[in-house]
Structure 1
Amino acid sequence: MKKSLLAAALFGAFAMSAHAQSSVTLYGLIDTGLVYTNNQFGHSNWQMVSSSTQNTVFGLKGSEDLGGGLHAVFKLEQGFLLNNGAQAFSGDGFGSQAWVGLQSDPYGTLTFGRQFDVMNDLVGPLTAEFNTSGGSMAAHPFENDNLAANSVVINNSVKYASPTYRGVTFETMYSFSNKAGDFGNNRSYGFGVSYAQGPVNLAAGYLQLNNAGNGAGAVTSGDASANFIAQRQRIWSLGGNYTFGPATVGLVWSHAQIDNASGVFSFGTGSYLGSGDTSAGSLGGSLRLDNYEVNAKYALTPALSVSGAYTYTHGAYNGSSPGWNTAMLQTDYSISKRTDFYLEGVYQNVHGAPADSVLSHAMINTLSPSATNTQVAVTVGMRHAF
């Protein structure tokens, strides 16, 4: 009897010890609201939408202490549309994120799987389009620089993130095509660095996609991960913000060089083809886009804030010089730490693009394109995190 009691006590102690060294968390974010758009395919529209500002997701994340400052870590996350329950990334069980890896306190973190790119990790948080104070609708045209809140997810990726040293963090990644005899077809790689100390936050990065959307590989069009179908897409970005009291102001520049492009998407909704078709919009040749963003946020009270952003995008396409003006204004009120309500307006105008081309129609991200060169959208929504 005594031996049985001793064995039970030892087993219980071991179980509690193992439990204390491991953790698994269920988490999520729900973003839903009503949007009015003045022009979609030539008509005004009222619609219920999901993820106007932040991705609606649920997921599991966990960590196990392996001893000596080493941890096994993982994350499985699925994006979905609240209004109809559909998957945000069609056909993917965990389309938003699916990775596992090792985290070392002194040496950094190495992860493997379907992940966000390193430039999105470090430069994205400095933009209005990444944060709740703007979000997806405020993204740069066609989300050409992958800086919005986790819109492009990359398969077959190996990512390394350094520990933070005197405010500096470095990340790099490589994503395999997984194609025998075609190693360079639909692969990706990049790097980023950030500095955060006191009120100052700076970051820069580079990302390259080779043959994105070309069948299976690093970035696919089948699950709406690819924004462009092109031979090569190269993105440089640089940004910074400064916080003083209740205010934060930021500047971001990015350059997207898209070579031998054949199609363009925007968050999987497609582009205007002139007949109401929402499949991929046609492109031919190369496209260059420079985005210049200024953003600001001011906390009127701990619960109430206002924010705004303006981006001018200068393009070069087949001898033309299209330009986009995108402006956003938002007010947000938090009723608790996990629940808030927002009112946001976005305006976009495009000029100088070839007539009746896919680039000549304004298209606020997450929405169907306008029949003209101007589009205005106003959304009122609710977010809840758990």
Structure 2
Amino acid sequence: MKTKILVATLLAGLTSYSFAASNVTLYGQIDLGVVASKAKHKAATFEEKSGFVGMSRWGIKGSEDLGNGYSVGFTLEEGITADDGAVAAGSGAFTRESLLRVAGPFGQIAFGRMGALGFAQSTAILRGWAFGTSWGASAWDGSSSYGLHFGRLNNAVNYVTPSFGGLTIHAMYSNSIATDDSLNKWSNNDHYYGIGTKYTAHNVDASVIFEVRDNKHVITAVAPKQKAMYHVTVGGTFDFNVIKPGFIYQFATQDELYDQHAFGLSATAPLAGGSLKVGGKYIFRKYDGAYMTAHQAQNDKKANVWTLGVGYEYPLSKRTNLWSYAGYADGAKAWRDTSDVKFNGYQIGLGMLHKF
């Protein structure tokens, strides 16, 4: 009996040493709730929803100290829909993020699949919007209809400078945004270029981001050869310790297609042991030339939307939050036939998010 106890103790010690030496961590979160939604002129829906305030996910990350201030690390992350256990997006594993990074006195460089600078992954620097890219209708959304961010990028490289008193400079390039970069020659791929600065010091957390998608391979019936798409995004928060207000603005344009302005004012504040989020955003889009999207009625050349949202999180423990949300979006008549409540309708939700 004593021998068995000794062997078990030695094995446990060796296992602990192995994990400590490689510094590999299994992590993730499960977000599940019930959400009632109703788009104008459409039937109301009531569903169990996964990933409403934060996509359900699991991942593996690790790092190794190479000495002399250098290290190498990796992140492999996959999204799931917790209500049915399915993979959330894509057909393979680790479609949320899959990268290898090297850090040192020069800064940090990462290679692989990752979020664009204006998105919400580990390489992103979007600031100024309390709801980030989650929370239903209040999300700083990246849908094809409004495209407030470029989402995830394949075949990408990201560089971050060392911090200069809280200021860092970020640069990113993707050789082929959504396809295998070996399928076409370089000039026939969609490329992403991004550069930005982030400042985090003295209660300020802010960023300025310039991004381009050149649309080299896009060919459609309404636009035989699309022009490049440009985003300029400026946002930040100031923490007054009691309340943290934020502001975000974005100008997006694509020649011969559209010009778009998006504004957001939001704030977070402690309330009854939890955290309250409030925010309103306004999106103004004017279509250019003959281009009209399928959901536009009577050749409308403007498609404006304003959204108001209120969210609340209450911590049951260090790893588990209860959340609730109510949001309303009102779109111009161009959106009257859409079933997407991000543009025209309301949402009410209640759920729980657990991190591990």
Letter in 1 for 2:86: A
Residue of structure 2 equivalent to 1:269: none
Match of 1:351 among 326, 332, 343: 332
**In structure 1, C-alpha distance between the alignment counterparts of 2:48 and 2:233, rounded to whole Å:** 33
Residues 82, 20 of structure 1: CA spacing in aligned structure 2 closer, same or farther, 3 A cutoff? closer
**In structure 2, C-alpha distance between the alignment counterparts of 1:311 and 1:330, rounded to whole Å:** 14
- Residue pair 1:160, 1:171 contacting (<8 A) in 2 also: yes
**In structure 1, C-alpha distance between the alignment counterparts of 2:306 and 2:127, rounded to whole Å:** 21
Residue of structure 2 equivalent to 1:211: 215
- Residue pair 1:129, 1:137 contacting (<8 A) in 2 also: no
Superimposed CA distance per residue, residues 46-77 of structure 1 (whole angstroms, 9 cap, x where no aligned partner):
01111111111100000011111111110000
- Residue pair 1:130, 1:136 contacting (<8 A) in 2 also: no
**In structure 2, C-alpha distance between the alignment counterparts of 1:81 and 1:339, rounded to whole Å:** 18
**In structure 2, C-alpha distance between the alignment counterparts of 1:165 and 1:17, rounded to whole Å:** 36
- Residue pair 1:51, 1:136 contacting (<8 A) in 2 also: no
Residue of structure 1 equivalent to 2:230: 234
Residue of structure 2 equivalent to 1:247: 243
Residue of structure 2 equivalent to 1:89: 89
Residue of structure 2 equivalent to 1:69: 69
Residue of structure 2 equivalent to 1:385: 355
Q: Is 1:322 the equivalent of 2:326?
A: no
Gaps of 5+ in 2: 1-13, 220-224, 290-300
Residue of structure 2 equivalent to 1:278: none
- Give the paired residue count: 318
Q: CA deviation at 1:20?
A: 4.8
Residue of structure 1 equivalent to 2:194: 190
- Residue pair 1:128, 1:135 contacting (<8 A) in 2 also: no
Residue of structure 2 equivalent to 1:270: none
Match of 1:287 among 230, 250, 258: 258
Task: State the secondary structure of the residue aligned to 2:94.
Answer: coil
Residues 70, 41 of structure 1: CA spacing in aligned structure 2 closer, same or farther, 3 A cutoff? farther
- Residue pair 1:122, 1:193 contacting (<8 A) in 2 also: no
Residue of structure 1 equivalent to 2:205: 201
Residues 159, 205 of structure 1: CA spacing in aligned structure 2 closer, same or farther, 3 A cutoff? same
Letter in 2 for 1:203: S
**In structure 1, C-alpha distance between the alignment counterparts of 2:167 and 2:331, rounded to whole Å:** 38
Residue of structure 2 equivalent to 1:337: 318
Identity across aligned pairs (percent)?
Answer: 25
Task: State the secondary structure of the residue aligned to 2:86.
Answer: coil
**In structure 1, C-alpha distance between the alignment counterparts of 2:131 and 2:209, rounded to whole Å:** 17
Task: State the secondary structure of the residue aligned to 1:137.
Answer: helix
Letter in 1 for 2:341: I
Instruction: Return the TM-score normalized by structure 1.
Output: 0.75
Residue of structure 1 equivalent to 2:281: 311
Task: State the secondary structure of the residue aligned to 2:118.
Answer: helix
Instruction: Return the TM-score normalized by structure 2.
Output: 0.81
Q: CA deviation at 1:25?
A: 0.4
**In structure 2, C-alpha distance between the alignment counterparts of 1:47 and 1:78, rounded to whole Å:** 23
Residue of structure 1 equivalent to 2:268: 297
Match of 1:129 among 128, 131, 148: 131
- Residue pair 2:127, 2:248 contacting (<8 A) in 1 also: no
Task: State the secondary structure of the residue aligned to 1:66.
Answer: strand
**In structure 2, C-alpha distance between the alignment counterparts of 1:36 and 1:48, rounded to whole Å:** 9
- Residue pair 2:40, 2:344 contacting (<8 A) in 1 also: no
**In structure 1, C-alpha distance between the alignment counterparts of 2:16 and 2:321, rounded to whole Å:** 37
Residue of structure 2 equivalent to 1:107: 106
Superimposed CA distance per residue, residues 352-383 of structure 1 (whole angstroms, 9 cap, x where no aligned partner):
53xxxx68636235xxxxxxx73011111110
Superimposed CA distance per residue, residues 323-367 of structure 1 (whole angstroms, 9 cap, x where no aligned partner):
1111101122111111011110111111153xxxx68636235xx
Task: State the secondary structure of the residue aligned to 2:228.
Answer: strand
Superimposed CA distance per residue, residues 155-194 of structure 1 (whole angstroms, 9 cap, x where no aligned partner):
0001111222201011101111224434352111101111
Residues 307, 384 of structure 1: CA spacing in aligned structure 2 closer, same or farther, 3 A cutoff? same
Residues 332, 32 of structure 1: CA spacing in aligned structure 2 closer, same or farther, 3 A cutoff? same
Task: State the secondary structure of the residue aligned to 1:128.
Answer: coil
Q: CA deviation at 1:255?
A: 1.5
Residue of structure 2 equivalent to 1:8: none
